[in-house]
Structure 1
Amino acid sequence: MVVDIFIPCFIDQVYPETGFNMVKVLEKLGCEVHYNPNQTCCGQPAYNAGFVKEAQTVVHKFLADFAHPDRYIVAPSASCIGMIRNAYNDIITDPAKRKTYYPIQKNAFEFTEFLTDVLEVDHIPGARFEAVATYHDACSALRECGIREAPRRLLSKVEGLTLVEMEGTEICCGFGGTFSVKFQAISAGMAEQKIDHATHTQAQYLISTDASCLMHLDGYIQKHRKNIQTIHIADVLASGW
């Protein structure tokens, strides 16, 4: 299985170890992993802020950077994959560009759904994480990509991990990109609710598919000194071996 990995902005700039851990898991499962160092952004920040023309420039670059129609594109971010699958339909208007886009749209997968839906694995051999954890459904994963069971299935097979469902797991964490900047008070209130639900489970860790959610929630945790840590699912699946 030949895979092109896409590394989102938050992973590249804030959590690079998560990207390395994704590669570690993919290679363990026999994938041939390729990384194009020319890649940048999927265009989501500009698009969500209403700058469609500027986003179009970034999107066309993305198409050029991932110009292998026979390869899967895997990213540790449902947010970016949701952008590629859905918003690109509105952004790409040129017929020639659309021909380039359709194979990319078909082959783009969030990390956990690629493991379960394409590689058809339900566990990572040797994965071990001694902890009690709860899981947060990122909005893009759940609503744009339809991902709910794949992460839980993989986590349920991690040795030593006890997964406890929290109340309101499908409720937004409050990040929402520029939403957290434009509506800071609302965003912080949503983070407070999410962390209250998470800590009520007595979990040591809060796991998700999206670093953007985790970064937002970790900011609240650090500021208010809550007794819980955030961790990306790729880091959990790569642990213990």
Structure 2
Amino acid sequence: MTKPEHILLVDDEKGILELLETTLRKERYMSITCCETAHEALFQIKNKNYDLIVLDVMLQDMDGFELCRTIRHYTNAPLIFVTACSSDLDKLTGLGIGGDDYITKPFNPLEVAARVNAQLRRRRIDSQHHSEKTVEKIYDYGRFSLHIEEAKLLVNNVPEVCTAKEFELLMFLCRHPNRVFTASQLYERVWGEDSFGDDKTVVMHISKLRKKIEKDPKNPEFILTLRGIGYKFVPNGKGER
């Protein structure tokens, strides 16, 4: 029997929660928790493991971006922002501080369902691949190490908060050292061909990873940019171009 996937919906508008819950239940997601406040959401996250979180930015008791930063201390589950804030700066902020996707209001509930499906489908595929083949459990490069089974990134032996997609992207690069990938290829391999977004999403996540693992993010030694081509992960950290 397939294990049910647990989804957390956080929005201070009860009508939107009801709409999203109804739509997702039609998609056969039956384990759904709804919260109207940030404090209630944090209580749920601390006491239960969720496979995906849908989060409004403009909550009454806490800014959604601030809540996202706190959430990332407890879980790396995919997080989708749903908000009336539609500027590019808001979107980049949301993706930069831990979000995996961003949807603006007003929205078509079927679009939200499609993006939830895409995130969870990718999560299932990754989980299946990990169980079907033998892979490295720890990638240790001296300055940083990636612990697969614990979904943990250590930089200089200190835990570093990492979003689900940042972790997946870094894990993909670690598993394919010294190979060159375009931004589009990375997006397809990590986010999935049927997901939503563009190359800017990859650029943003690469930038965030460099700030975490590189000694000097402006002169990276591990994740190199080959101008006009793409990106390459160099495991020895020498930054050979």
**TM-score bracket relative to the smaller structure:** under 0.3
Q: Which has the higher contact order (CA 8 A, sep 6+)?
A: 1
Structure with the largest fraction of helix: 1
Structure with the largest fraction of strand: 2
Tell me the TM-score normalised to structure 2 length.
0.27
